[in-house]
Amino acid sequence: MGLQLCLVPDLHEAISDLVRIRIDQHWHAGQYESIFPLFFLLSRIDPEDTDAWATGAWFLVNGLAPAYPKNRGKLVAKAAAFLQEGLAYHAQNYRLYWELAWLWYREGKLEVALKYLDEAEKFPHPFYVASTKAHILLALGKKEAAVAQWQLVAEKFPEQRTLAERFIQRLRKP
């Protein structure tokens, strides 16, 4: 047994991989109630793994909440708390701020979502962070701010310029 452990280059990584395999097994078996505890464990084994935090929260909201509509509020709150906890390890990364923004956007708490997007934008981030903010601004009735956000998208993400310009044009129509 000792020799076998020596052959594992990174025991930490091996354990994480085993947990991920178990998550996949539960997923394909439809055993959804067993999945979040494994993401919780994974976040303890490797708190630097943003995917563990993000996917664990996603699973609570999108995997379990639809199956347990009476517990939806509790599951959403648990997902938000899980993401908040993950921020302690990833405060300088856009990802979990965006995940929280998306969660609250889908829950209709637009001002809360906007707060998290403002935080996400402080760090290098992909296009969808900035475009989500434009959509939320428009949903809040802040049309000019949405136009300004799309202009920012066009500048910061030149590959998305055509899309941003279409939104700007649509928003400027009377």
pLDDT per residue over 98-144, tens digit each? 999 999 999 999 999 999 999 999 999 999 999 999 999 999 999 99
For all residues of the chain together, what is the average pLDDT? 93
Q: Based on the domain organization, do 103 and 130 belong to the same domain? A: no
Position with higher pLDDT, 5 vs 143: 143
Tokens matching residue 134? 């434009």
Tokens matching residue 25? 């097994």
Q: Taking residues 145-172, what's their average pLDDT?
A: 97
Is residue 156, in this structure, part of any structural domain at all?
Answer: yes
Domain residues for the domain of 138 are: 126-174
> Residue 107 corresponds to which amino acid?
E
Q: Find, among 19, 23, 107, the residue nearest to 62 by Cα.
A: 107
Number of structural domains the chain divides into: 2
Is residue 47, in this structure, part of any structural domain at all?
Answer: yes
Q: Based on the domain organization, do 84 and 163 belong to the same domain? A: no
Q: Which residue has the tokens 């992909």?
A: 126
Q: Based on the domain organization, do 26 and 65 belong to the same domain? A: yes
Predicted confidence at residue 1, as pLDDT, reads: 43
Neighbours of 33 (CB within 10 A): 12
* Cα–Cα distance, 143 to 171 (Å, whole number): 7
* Cα–Cα distance, 42 to 39 (Å, whole number): 5
Is residue 90, in this structure, part of any structural domain at all?
Answer: yes
Q: Taking residues 82-104, what's their average pLDDT?
A: 97
Length of the chain in terms of residues written = 174
Q: Taking residues 54-68, what's their average pLDDT?
A: 95
For residue 61, give every residue at least 6 positions away whose Cβ sits within 8 Å of its Cβ, in sequence order, or none.
Answer: 75, 76, 79, 103, 106
Q: Based on the domain organization, do 56 and 83 belong to the same domain? A: yes
Q: Based on the domain organization, do 87 and 17 belong to the same domain? A: yes
Phi–psi pair at 53, nearest 5 degrees: -65, -50
